[in-house]
């Protein structure tokens, strides 16, 4: 048996504020890698890139 699928059944789920950070602090050893980051992103694909260095 074949059934018709509605657009509502196949639509992606929307989330508000899927990624949120307030005053995020991250320490890497003795160094503060992230200090006081406020971030809010909707659903989707995101990337955060930076240099890899020990200096």
Judge whether 35 lies within some domain: yes
Note whether residue 51 is domain-resident: no
Considering the domain boundaries, does residue 31 fall inside one?
yes
Residue-number span of the structural domain to which 35 is assigned: 17-41
Q: What is the 3-state secondary structure (H, E, C) of 2-51?
A: CCCCCHHHHCCCCCCCCEEEEEEEEEECCEEEEEEEEEEECCCCCCCCCC
Confidence of residue 50 (pLDDT cuts 50, 70, 90): confident
Q: Is residue 21 one of the residues assigned to a domain?
A: yes
Residue 21 confidence (pLDDT): 86
Asked whether residue 22 is domain-assigned, the answer is: yes
Residue 55 has pLDDT above 70, yes or no: no
6 domain-assigned = no
Average per-residue pLDDT for the chain = 81
> pLDDT tens, 16-28?
657 788 999 999 8
**Count of domains forming the chain:** 1
């Amino acid at each position: 048996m074949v059934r018709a699928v509605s657009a509502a059944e196949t639509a992606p789920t929307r989330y508000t504020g899927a990624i949120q950070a307030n005053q995020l602090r991250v320490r890497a050893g003795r160094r503060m890698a992230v200090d006081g980051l406020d971030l809010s992103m909707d659903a989707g694909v995101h990337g955060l890139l930076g240099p890899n260095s020990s200096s």
